[in-house]
Structure 1
Amino acid sequence: MNTENKNASKEQSRRNFIKSTTLATAGFMIVPRFVLGGKGFLAPSDRLLLAGIGVGGQGESDINAIVSGGKTDVSFLCDVDDRRAANSIKKFPKAKYYKDYRKLLDKEAKNIDAVMVSTPDHTHAQIAMAAMQLGKHVYVQKPLAHDIYEARMLTEAAKKYKVVTQMGNQGASGDGVRRLQEWYDAGKIGKVHTVYVWTNRPVWPQGISWPTTKAPIPPELDWDLWLGSAPYKDYVDKLVPFNWRGWWDFGTGAIGDMGCHLFEPPFKILGLDTPISVECSVGSVYVDEFKRAYLPESCPPSSHVTMTFNPTPKTKGEVRIHWMDGGIKPARPEELGANEKLGDNGVLFIGTKGKMICETYGKNPKLLPLSKNDNDNTKISIKRVPGQEIGHYTQFAEAAIAGYGKMELSSPFEIAGPLTETLLIANLAIRGTDIQRLDAAGKVTYPGRDIKMIWDKNTMRVTNFEEANQFVKRTYREGWTLGV
């Protein structure tokens, strides 16, 4: 048989194999890559078989976005709330549906290439870790984890298990961040020493006591699974699907929600690592005519956190980043005209020679004063991600198909991990302000307020205020584990 006929025979055999192999549980005619040739093997179809975990709201949006890239098939759906999953179930009728991600991964691992995690913050790490330990590529919504320890473990696991990873801070793939980088590298504003980052979040209740009246659990919701590793609490009305963000047991507050989107530009542009110190002030809550209070169960209504970072090759000295939420904003830059708006969410870079500003995702980057942008001729020198924010999903799918280490990603865990740790270190300081002690006279004091907490990256500890370290790694509810 000549070479041409041999190749034709091989191609026909390959086609016959694909055609005859069926994933009965999912109704697909596509075989995961590792079934055919082990981890990293390219599927003949060059398509990614995805399991979506948390498929309502943001999860529904995430799945639709990755499918729109044309390289992904949704094989499985998983959600603890049938109401939230309804739209995705309807759109992907061939995808088998589970409520418990543990059962999904246990039964269907051989039929999955990648897992997309779009659940509440307190469940990100356990799901992502379980998937990575099975050799699955993972896309995890921001923030990467609920605790500093979890973020560090996920970062190390991605390298250990050699899987493709991406965090869902889509602005990391946007043109705006890259334009800001080009301006900075061209010396347009000199060396940055101070950055202000602000948001109008929270737009959900914070600074409140846990409701005393429990509500009936909706029949479509598995409340125990929703709680996962968090301490058991009775179900309360309006916590699901969104207001959990304001409670430390489940969410990470305003900085957890928006920080990954807003810190991305300074983190990437300045080449920052985790901070060396953090200090903060937080808004208190009115209780009665003579008393204001801080409620340790709930994130505060507003905060101002100052983080100090070591110098990098991109900076002249230490860098300070000011985080402001609850509607707090920095003073208007003097270069901004009287009627030129600062915006509800943004980032302001202050350099030795000038300033630049952007919005969430790094969008609408501008040099200050704004007149500088009229004649800007800075060359495009950084490769763009096709599709920008939507391309963030396609980038992950293509990298997962290619295999670990084959393609560059905008927010792999090696980058997303330290970024997430930084935000959670800020939260550690915020939560530290609520720690109480009794002095010799029996008066309640708050030793964590008005101090600078010194952070040791290697040991993952605050070195000068031991009580704050209880927030580095939380205790999981019995029956739940991170698996490390």
Structure 2
Amino acid sequence: MKNNKPDQQLASRRNFIKGSALAAAGFFIVPRHVLGGPGFIAPSDRLRVASIGVGGMGAGDVRGIFSSGKVDMIALCDVDDTRAKQSREAHPKANYYKDYRIMLEKEEKNIDAVSVSTPDHMHAVQALMAMKMGKHVYVQKPMSHDIYEARMLTEAAEKYKVVTQMGNQGSSGDGVRQMVEWYNAGLIGEATKVWTWTNRPVWPQGIPWPSTPIAPPADLDWDLWLGTAPYKDYVGNLVPFNWRGWWDYGTGALGDMACHIMEPPFRVLGLGYPSSAECSVGSVYVGEFQRGYFPDSCPPSSHITLRFERPGKEELEFHWMDGGIQPTRPEELGPNEMMGDGGNGVIIEGTKGKMMCSTYGANPQLLPTSRTKDVSLPQTEYRVPGGSSGHYNNWVEACIAGHGSEEFKKLSSPFSVAGPLTESVLMGNLAIRSYDYRIPRTGSDNQFDYPGRGIKLVWDGANMKITNFDPANQFVKRTYREGYSL
């Protein structure tokens, strides 16, 4: 065996001489932030970000992420050049792409994180490609279009040890944390029912697919916009906003608002996967006493009932209403007091009382509201600096600190939390689509039966499967168009 001792002694002697010379010269290493003066951020404390979908809400996400002062926008990607103009002008040095796959392949070594602000049907494939590269991801709500996708993203976040955040900014607000403290203090007792509602949709739903295709705008790459969805010719009144009402691309009022409105009771009550789902759906009439059947489009209104089993406790009944449907007004609420924020809100009923909030968990109130000002509790829940406005920086700081860091533990909506919430939201859509599932009636060419109506769908959350109505399982996972996969 070779004796390494002389080499070790030589190395020690060299280090000693080098150290002595530096000391004699009065030289010592100063941290870079000291050399740079106030406001200086060392390169190691900056986050290099690529953004997919940079128009509309995406432009807001770019601004929000960049506002931390610790972000370099390295690359921007959008299929619509006109919609991307604002972000491109704000970040002229960022490389610009139309295809996210090309961007991620070319910029892999130049970026640390990726934000995804595209239509719902593209969230999962874009986020997962970035996560497999070891990139942190910020994904607009809902984090996925399908239940299966949500589960895959949740598992990938842990597998690849990346920092994740869903774009439901209310989860960083003070309101939901106040409600957690009230509930943990026993102010409303044990929760028995939850009511959540929205006045959305404010876009067309419950309509037939337009019969006349038109040429797509010159600045829009329609094929890339379709992405994972089946190919269809371009139609008017779809892009950039009304895609939300079509199942191929959007997730309806539930997907748009429930990640904001259902999040407070999920956090307060520590909920996981539901055990069952059932629904009723508003009818669309196309003629006198004739109900339209438009399975490609989300319904104009719905009422979803989810149930959650809780070990050692009674089953929790959880209601979602959209299209303007609202729960019965609580007796504890004064006749001129607003329920929620008028169009949206949350009420949690307990064995000893009730509490209420608006969209994003804002304006939390105990009922009757006079109780609110009389209660003073010690603060036990972490408050995100800036509240809802600090949601982006909450993610940026965690990305810079790294997976498992103290900043990572302060994340408001990591996929470990956002995943089960999103799955529960999408369970409502599974119930809606099962409600409209139809089969031809025996012996009839133009009459149908709807076997998914009037039943409770029993959900095996661990295995992502409806156990008592197999046709519903087709809505757990989509088939992607060729060229896209998880």
TM over 0.5: yes
Q: In structure 1, what is the equivalent of residue 14 of structure 2?
A: none
Q: In structure 2, what is the equivalent of residue 35 of structure 1?
A: none
Instruction: Trace 1:184-203 onto structure 2 (pairs within 5 A).
Output: 184-203=183-202
Contact 1:215 1:236 in 2 (8 A): yes
Please give the alpha-carbon distance, in whole angstroms, between the structure 1 residues aligned to 2:440 and 2:239: 37
Q: In structure 2, what is the equivalent of residue 38 of structure 1?
A: none
Once the two structures are TM-superposed, the CA of residue 3 in structure 1 deviates from its matched residue by: 6.9
Contact 2:142 2:256 in 1 (8 A): yes
Please give the alpha-carbon distance, in whole angstroms, between the structure 1 residues aligned to 2:43 and 2:436: 56
Q: In structure 1, what is the equivalent of residue 452 of structure 2?
A: 448
Please give the alpha-carbon distance, in whole angstroms, between the structure 1 residues aligned to 2:163 and 2:366: 35
Contact 1:280 1:306 in 2 (8 A): yes
Q: Could you say what secondary structure the match of 2:349 adopts?
A: strand
Please give the alpha-carbon distance, in whole angstroms, between the structure 1 residues aligned to 2:268 and 2:117: 27
Please give the alpha-carbon distance, in whole angstroms, between the structure 1 residues aligned to 2:335 and 2:475: 43
Amino acid at match of 2:421: L
Please give the alpha-carbon distance, in whole angstroms, between the structure 2 residues aligned to 1:112 and 1:11: 28
Matched, 1:350 2:354: no
Structure with greater Cα Rg: 2
Q: Could you say what secondary structure the match of 2:347 adopts?
A: strand
Please give the alpha-carbon distance, in whole angstroms, between the structure 2 residues aligned to 1:353 and 1:3: 73
Q: In structure 1, what is the equivalent of residue 46 of structure 2?
A: 47
Pairing partner for 2:466 from 450, 462, 466: 462
Which deviates more, 290-299 or 351-360? Answer: 290-299
Instruction: Trace 1:421-436 onto structure 2 (pairs within 5 A).
Output: 421-436=423-438
Amino acid at match of 1:130: M
Instruction: Trace 1:95-244 onto structure 2 (pairs within 5 A).
Output: 95-244=94-243
Once the two structures are TM-superposed, the CA of residue 438 in structure 1 deviates from its matched residue by: 2.6
Please give the alpha-carbon distance, in whole angstroms, between the structure 2 residues aligned to 1:222 and 1:347: 40
Contact 1:69 1:394 in 2 (8 A): yes
Offset from partner CA, 1:423-463 (integer Å, 9 cap, x none): 11110000011111233343411001110000011221111
Amino acid at match of 2:478: R
Please give the alpha-carbon distance, in whole angstroms, between the structure 2 residues aligned to 1:115 and 1:336: 44
Q: Could you say what secondary structure the match of 2:375 adopts?
A: coil
Contact 2:114 2:130 in 1 (8 A): yes
Once the two structures are TM-superposed, the CA of residue 312 in structure 1 deviates from its matched residue by: 5.1
Pairing partner for 2:481 from 456, 474, 477: 477
Q: Which sections of structure 1, spanning at least 5 residues, go unmatched?
A: 19-29, 31-41
Contact 1:137 1:400 in 2 (8 A): yes
| Alpha-carbon distance change, 377 to 234 in structure 1, aligned in 2, over 3 angstroms | same
Once the two structures are TM-superposed, the CA of residue 8 in structure 1 deviates from its matched residue by: 9.2
Pairing partner for 1:419 from 418, 421, 425: 421
Once the two structures are TM-superposed, the CA of residue 73 in structure 1 deviates from its matched residue by: 1.3
Amino acid at match of 1:468: A
| Alpha-carbon distance change, 82 to 378 in structure 1, aligned in 2, over 3 angstroms | same
Offset from partner CA, 1:311-357 (integer Å, 9 cap, x none): 157xx311111000000000000011111121111000000000000
Amino acid at match of 2:206: G
Contact 2:32 2:42 in 1 (8 A): no
Matched, 1:80 2:84: no
Q: Could you say what secondary structure the match of 1:176 adopts?
A: helix
Amino acid at match of 1:91: A
Please give the alpha-carbon distance, in whole angstroms, between the structure 2 residues aligned to 1:433 and 1:246: 17
Q: Could you say what secondary structure the match of 2:374 adopts?
A: coil
Q: Which sections of structure 2, spanning at least 5 residues, go unmatched?
A: 1-17
Q: In structure 2, what is the equivalent of residue 292 of structure 1?
A: 291
Please give the alpha-carbon distance, in whole angstroms, between the structure 2 residues aligned to 1:270 and 1:125: 27
Q: In structure 1, what is the equivalent of residue 334 of structure 2?
A: 337
Q: Could you say what secondary structure the match of 1:61 adopts?
A: helix
Amino acid at match of 1:417: G
Please give the alpha-carbon distance, in whole angstroms, between the structure 1 residues aligned to 2:30 and 2:108: 28
Q: What TM-score does the superposition give when structure 2 sets the normalisation length? A: 0.91
Instruction: Trace 1:276-315 onto structure 2 (pairs within 5 A).
Output: 276-311=275-310
Amino acid at match of 2:106: K
Q: Could you say what secondary structure the match of 1:138 adopts?
A: strand
Please give the alpha-carbon distance, in whole angstroms, between the structure 2 residues aligned to 1:255 and 1:94: 38
Number of matched residues?
A: 456
Contact 1:71 1:394 in 2 (8 A): no
What CA RMSD, in Å, does the superposition of the two structures yield over aligned residues?
2.0
Offset from partner CA, 1:286-320 (integer Å, 9 cap, x none): 1111311231000000000000001157xx31111
Once the two structures are TM-superposed, the CA of residue 10 in structure 1 deviates from its matched residue by: 8.7
Q: In structure 2, what is the equivalent of residue 254 of structure 1?
A: 253
Which deviates more, 6-15 or 83-92? Answer: 6-15
Q: Could you say what secondary structure the match of 2:363 adopts?
A: coil
Contact 1:294 1:300 in 2 (8 A): no
Once the two structures are TM-superposed, the CA of residue 377 in structure 1 deviates from its matched residue by: 1.3
Please give the alpha-carbon distance, in whole angstroms, between the structure 2 residues aligned to 1:13 and 1:278: 57
Q: Could you say what secondary structure the match of 2:55 adopts?
A: coil
Please give the alpha-carbon distance, in whole angstroms, between the structure 1 residues aligned to 2:285 and 2:466: 30
Q: Could you say what secondary structure the match of 2:428 adopts?
A: helix
Please give the alpha-carbon distance, in whole angstroms, between the structure 1 residues aligned to 2:142 and 2:101: 21
Which deviates more, 43-52 or 109-118? Answer: 43-52
Amino acid at match of 1:327: G
Offset from partner CA, 1:132-169 (integer Å, 9 cap, x none): 01000000000010011100001111111111111111
Q: Could you say what secondary structure the match of 1:287 adopts?
A: strand
Q: Could you say what secondary structure the match of 2:355 adopts?
A: strand
Q: Could you say what secondary structure the match of 2:388 adopts?
A: helix
Q: Could you say what secondary structure the match of 1:468 adopts?
A: helix
Please give the alpha-carbon distance, in whole angstroms, between the structure 2 residues aligned to 1:237 and 1:3: 76
Once the two structures are TM-superposed, the CA of residue 13 in structure 1 deviates from its matched residue by: 12
Q: Could you say what secondary structure the match of 1:51 adopts?
A: strand
Please give the alpha-carbon distance, in whole angstroms, between the structure 2 residues aligned to 1:4 and 1:144: 57
